[in-house]
Amino acid sequence: MARYILSRSSIFRFTQGYQNSQRLSKCCGCANLSNINVIHDRPNQRFTVDLDCSGAVSSAVLKYTVSHDQQVELISTEVPESHRGKGVAAHLAKAALDFVVEEKLTARISCWYIRKYVDENPHLGYQAYIENK
């Protein structure tokens, strides 16, 4: 089953989702995270996921920059402590890396989590787009 997420100028295709998606069914006893919607905010150079926990809304964010030579630097991921370990950062990393691939860019990774995600998912082929392997 493919799932598409529409951003301002990109469509991201998730064919199998995050490999540990079974861990996404509950978050701190709150909203179901199985339908995570990653939003690409190009003007602010970030990917976000809005997280609702009993009415308290917070966001997980992946920040990046784009240089003049069209190289993307994936800077950081930030996930609220109450949502860590539930696959939210993996969804952000996948969306950002899919953006790099779809736009035929190269990426530098400054964030330890994104580096880990790329290393743990070689089958997704992101290594070919990473400058400092």
pLDDT (tens, 9 = 90+) of the chain, 133 residues, equals 334 444 443 444 443 344 333 333 344 445 455 678 999 999 999 999 999 776 667 999 999 999 988 899 999 999 999 889 999 999 999 999 999 999 999 999 999 999 999 999 999 999 999 997 5
Contacts of 9-13 with C-beta under 8 Å, sequence gap 24+, read 9/40, 9/42, 10/40, 10/99, 10/102, 10/103, 12/38, 12/40, 12/94, 12/95, 12/98, 12/99, 12/102, 13/98
Global pTM exceeds 0.85: no
pLDDT of the residue at 111 = 96
Going along the chain from its start, the domains and CATH numbers come out as 3-129 (3.40.630.30)
pLDDT of the residue at 133 = 52
